[in-house]
Amino acid sequence: MNHPSEPSARRLTIAEIAARAKVSPTAVSFALNGKPGISPETRDRILEVVRQSNWRPNYAAQALSMSKAGVIGVVTIRQPGQPLWSASFGGHFLAGVQAALAERGVLLILHTVDSLADESALYERWMSERRVDGVLVINPHVDDPRLRELERVGLPAVIVGDTRDRSPLACVWTDDEAAAERAVGYLAELGHTHIARIGGDLDLLHYAIRERAFMAAARRAGVRMSAETIDADAGAADAVALLADRAGNPLTAVIVEDLEFAVHLTGALISRGIRVPQDVSVLAWDDGPAATLVTPTLTSLSRDIAAYGSLAAQELLDLIGGAAPRATQGTTTDLIVRESTSTARG
Q: Are residues 250 and 280 in the same domain?
A: yes
Q: What is the pTM of this model?
A: 0.76
Q: Is residue 17 part of a domain?
A: yes
CA angle 168, 169, 173 (to 5 degrees): 105
Instruction: Report residue 4's pLDDT band, with 50, 70 and 90 as the boundaries.
Output: very low
Our count of domains for the chain comes to 3
Q: Is residue 336 part of a domain?
A: no
Q: Are residues 203 and 274 in the same domain?
A: yes
Q: Are residues 127 and 193 in the same domain?
A: no
Amino acid 303: pLDDT: 93
Across 14-23, 52-61, 77-86, 335-344, least confident range: 52-61
Q: Are residues 118 and 184 in the same domain?
A: no
Give Cα separations from 265 to 15, 180, 215 (angstroms).
Answer: 59, 20, 22
Indicate if the pLDDT at residue 127 is higher than 50.
yes
Q: Are residues 186 and 294 in the same domain?
A: yes
Amino acid 81: pLDDT: 61
pLDDT tens sequence across 186-221: 999 999 998 988 888 889 999 999 999 999 999 999
The DSSP code sequence of 274-311 is --TTTT-EEEEES--GGGGTSSSPPEEEE--HHHHHHH
Q: Which H or E element spans position 340?
A: none
Q: Are residues 290 and 184 in the same domain?
A: yes
- Which domain does 27 fall in, by range? 7-56
Amino acid 67: pLDDT: 56
Q: Which residue has the higher pLDDT, 251 or 125?
A: 125
Q: Are residues 98 and 194 in the same domain?
A: no
Across 27-31, 97-101, 137-141, 342-346, least confident range: 27-31
Q: Is residue 342 part of a domain?
A: no
Q: Is residue 340 part of a domain?
A: no
Query: Residue 148 and residue 164: Cα distance in Å, rounded?
Result: 14
Instruction: Report residue 71's pLDDT band, with 50, 70 and 90 as the boundaries.
Output: very high
- The CATH number of whichever domain residue 48 belongs to comes to 1.10.260.40
Among 287, 302, 317, where does a domain finish?
Answer: 302
Q: Are residues 166 and 311 in the same domain?
A: yes
Q: Are residues 274 and 186 in the same domain?
A: yes
Query: Residue 45 and residue 60: Cα distance in Å, rounded?
Result: 26
Q: Is residue 227 part of a domain?
A: yes
Q: Is residue 341 part of a domain?
A: no
- The CATH number of whichever domain residue 148 belongs to comes to 3.40.50.2300
Q: Are residues 25 and 74 in the same domain?
A: no
Q: Is residue 286 part of a domain?
A: yes
Instruction: Report residue 311's pLDDT band, with 50, 70 and 90 as the boundaries.
Output: very high
The DSSP code sequence of 251-275 is --EEEES-HHHHHHHHHHHHHTT--
Query: Residue 57 and residue 12: Cα distance in Å, rounded?
Result: 10
Q: Are residues 226 and 128 in the same domain?
A: no
Q: Are residues 313 and 221 in the same domain?
A: no
